[in-house]
Amino acid sequence: MDKVVGEDGIRISDWLSAMVNAHVDVAKDPYVFDLNVNQATYKFVNLLLRAGKGEATFLFLAQPAIKSYASAWNNSQGLYGNNLQYDDKKPERWQLMNSYIQSYANKAKEVIDAIQDEKQRDQYTEKLKNIIEEKDVDWNSIFDK
């Protein structure tokens, strides 16, 4: 975190300055939203830029899964457009994260099921179960299908 120049050869302070300018000028040129820098991702952008990742930060944020998650995260804060189910025991954001983990675990399970080698398929299944249990997601809903 003590670097002056990032991995892309641009000074880290220049990237941070560009982010400040982007947020100041958001009314006349909202390109910062095209970069997927918003309330859900700003802390990560700041961390990655300070770590010297530079342009790679915005390539990372451009992934469809991150864009989708950030959009849902931001929508969960308002009164309108919030389609999360409420549970008195769990905060709303936890439910959002849980739903994303579960949807990607379902996709991972589909890929694992397509593996021909039974031993390898069992190894990957066990790894996926461990990850899911660590994240406190109901793995029965994924593996009992």
Which domain-ending residue is among 63, 98, 114?
Answer: 63
What is the residue range of 128's domain?
84-145
Number of domains in the chain: 2
Digit-coded pLDDT (tens) for 40-87: 888 999 999 999 999 999 999 998 888 888 888 777 665 554 444 444
Burial class (CB in 10 A: 0-12, 13-18, 19+), 67: middle
Asked if residue 104 is part of any domain, the answer here is: yes
Q: What is the pLDDT of residue 135?
A: 67
Q: Which two tokens stand for residue 97?
A: 């994260």
| Same domain, yes or no: 139 and 92 | yes
Same-domain check for residues 4 and 58: yes
Same domain, 51 and 2: yes
Assess if residue 117 is contained within a domain.
Answer: yes
- Looking at the structure, tell me whether residues 92 and 132 fall in a common domain: yes
Question: With helix as H, strand as E and coil as C, how does 27-52 read?
Answer: CCCCHHHHCCCCCCCHHHHHHHHHCC
70 assigned to some structural domain:
no
Pair 108, 59 in one domain: no
96 and 141 in a single domain? The answer is yes
Q: Does the residue 71 lie in any domain?
A: no
**73 within some domain:** no
Please say if the pLDDT value at position 88 is more than 50.
no
Alpha helices, H only, 1-145: 12-24, 31-34, 42-50, 55-61, 64-75, 92-113, 118-134, 140-143
- Structure confidence at residue 120 (pLDDT): 92
> Are 99 and 142 in a shared domain?
yes
